[in-house]
Amino acid sequence: MNIQNYINGQYTNPISNEWIDNYNPSNGEIYGQIPNSSKDDVEAAYKAAKSAFKQWSQTPIEERSRIMLRISELIEANLERLAEAESKDNGKPLWLAKAVDIPRASSNFRFFANAITQFASESHESVGLNAVNYTLRQPIGVVGCISPWNLPLYLFSWKIAPAIAAGNCVVAKPSEVTPMTAYLLGEICTKAGLPNGVLNIVHGLGGSTGQAIVEHSDIKAISFTGGTTTGAHIARVAAPMFKKLSLELGGKNPNIIFADCDYEDMLTTTIRSSFGNQGQICLCGSRIFVEKSIYEQFKTDFVNVIKNQKVGHPMAEETKIGALVSKPHLEKVLNYVEIAKEEGGKVLYGGHKLTIEGHENGYYMEPTIIEVSTDECRVNQEEIFGPVVTIMPFETEEEVLAMANKVNYGLSATIWTNDLKRTMRMTKELQAGIVWVNTWLMRDLRTPFGGVKDSGVGREGGFEALRFFTEPKNVCIKY
């Protein structure tokens, strides 16, 4: 099946008529093609967005909100179809797409449809000077949204929803590896009555289509989620044009387990935070540190549970872990297992590619647990972004805190403990944008979301996102 760009409310072929193959990770087969869009397609998308801007930015908030709520409802109504598309494109289990990805995409539109009705700005009376200041929060104009493949519609809509809620028009590019649900979103937006040109979706490669969005001199803000190297490149391109940037990048998150935690709860959640979505979530706790007194017990229990996590075809009901997203990605992840061995790491479980009967060319691998003796090895420092975790013991709070912070990344961290004072100390000291205590990936969409250090710049979520997608203007009136 060929998918098309969505520009000015119409589905169109790329101007050059060039196409890229789209692979199904569950069986390694090409099942469609996507536009290999050029600068010209991005320009067409920009023009459509630009001409829609005046009217959209002047559309009453309540009307914008109503349209966005309709988009949210239509996503929900198309749950089965969207979840199947997501699972086929990405390799994630169908149940996961149904339970998480698609409902969350719907929530993103609903959340920002409501949030915009509550978005307000400050005013300051300059006492004694007979003046009043207020802040106008105006939409930026045409903005660019670029998203990755791990949570395709979930992250695509997480950017688009606040952008359009705030009155901007958008040129958006999903990952070329998982374009399908973004393609289907176009038709949903049209059905919901989103005016033509408010959202334009161009498909294609990062280095050409994505680059053209970032380089476009009149696209004034870029919201990007993806790898740290790409983020650094985008920052270099955008800086001389003084674009507003929101960069949500990689992670190498610690999962710190103290002996006084609620053990069963910790174990169940740690399985999810290690291998959920095949370990392809930027928030996964891929470095597990366990207090020495329970280390051996944890190791045994963790391996025993993992042994029973079924790796299989994404559409099969009993599958817990599906296929990795692409062949190059699978190879990259497997290569890290070799690096771990060379560095003296001990593979406690997994480490191999798997062949699933009937789907022999799919990109499957075993969930993998590597015991490391130093936190400074590459597998403990570099983002692997697959079903691979490292584990090692620690003795003191100071020691584990130092190891947790001794990476270039700073996206999220998890602590398992029932000690309140320790919780208070550690949550302050951990270098991360998000700290979970006795839970993982519990999200309230009003909270600021993002990372420090190489995990990014800026915050998404709640009013932070609406602030990003608006330009504050101070108006000072003397009377």
- Is residue 225 a contact residue for ligand NAD (CB under 6 A)? yes
From first CA to last CA, the distance across the chain in angstroms is 64
Q: Which is nearer to ligand NAD, 131 or 232 (CB)?
A: 232
- Residue showing the smallest CB distance to ligand NAD in the complex: 206
Do residues 34 and 5 touch, judged by C-beta distance below 8 A?
no
Q: Which is nearer to ligand NAD, 93 or 231 (CB)?
A: 231
Q: Tell me whether residue 158 or residue 298 sits nearer to ligand NAD (CB atom).
A: 158
Is the four-CA dihedral 460, 466, 470, 475 of positive or negative sign? negative
Instruction: Based on the shown chain and the rule CB under 6 A, indicate whether residue 175 belongs to the binding site for ligand NAD.
Output: yes
Taking the C-alpha atoms of residue 165 and residue 160, their distance in angstroms, rounded to an integer, is 8
Candidates 115, 238, 245, 249: give the one binding ligand NAD (CB under 6 A): 249
- Of the ranges 25-33, 70-78, 245-253, 334-342, which one interacts with ligand NAD (CB under 6 A)? 245-253
Decide: 377 and 341 in contact? Cβ < 8 Å. no
- Could you confirm whether 282 is annotated as catalytic? yes
Q: Which two tokens stand for residue 400?
A: 């584990």
251 is a site residue for ligand NAD (CB under 6 A): yes
- Residue 39 in the binding site for ligand NAD (CB under 6 A): no
Nearer to ligand NAD, 371 or 383 (CB): 383
* Minimum distance from residue 250 beta carbon to ligand NAD (Å): 3
Cβ count near 376 (within 10 Å):
12
Residue tagged 């695509």 (tokens): 156
Among 86, 101, 291, 383, binds ligand NAD (CB under 6 A): 383
- Tell me, by CB under 6 A, how many residues bind ligand NAD: 31
Position 28 contacts ligand NAD (CB under 6 A) = no
Of the candidates 162, 147, 302, the one whose C-alpha atom is nearest the C-alpha of residue 230 is: 147
To the nearest whole angstrom, how small is the minimum distance from the Cβ of residue 451 to ligand NAD?
A: 6
Q: Output 219 or 337, the one with its CB closest to ligand NAD.
A: 219
Please tell me which residue in 248, 383, 397, 464 is annotated as part of the active site.
248
Any contact of residue 173 with ligand NAD (CB under 6 A)? yes
Residue 287 interacting with ligand NAD (CB under 6 A) = no
Here's the x/- map for ligand NAD, 349-368, by CB under 6 A: it reads as --------------------
464 binds ligand NAD (CB under 6 A): no
Give the binding site for ligand NAD (CB under 6 A): 146-150, 155, 173, 175-176, 206-207, 210-211, 214, 225-227, 230, 233-234, 248-251, 282, 383, 385, 411, 451, 455-456
- Positions marked catalytic: 248, 282
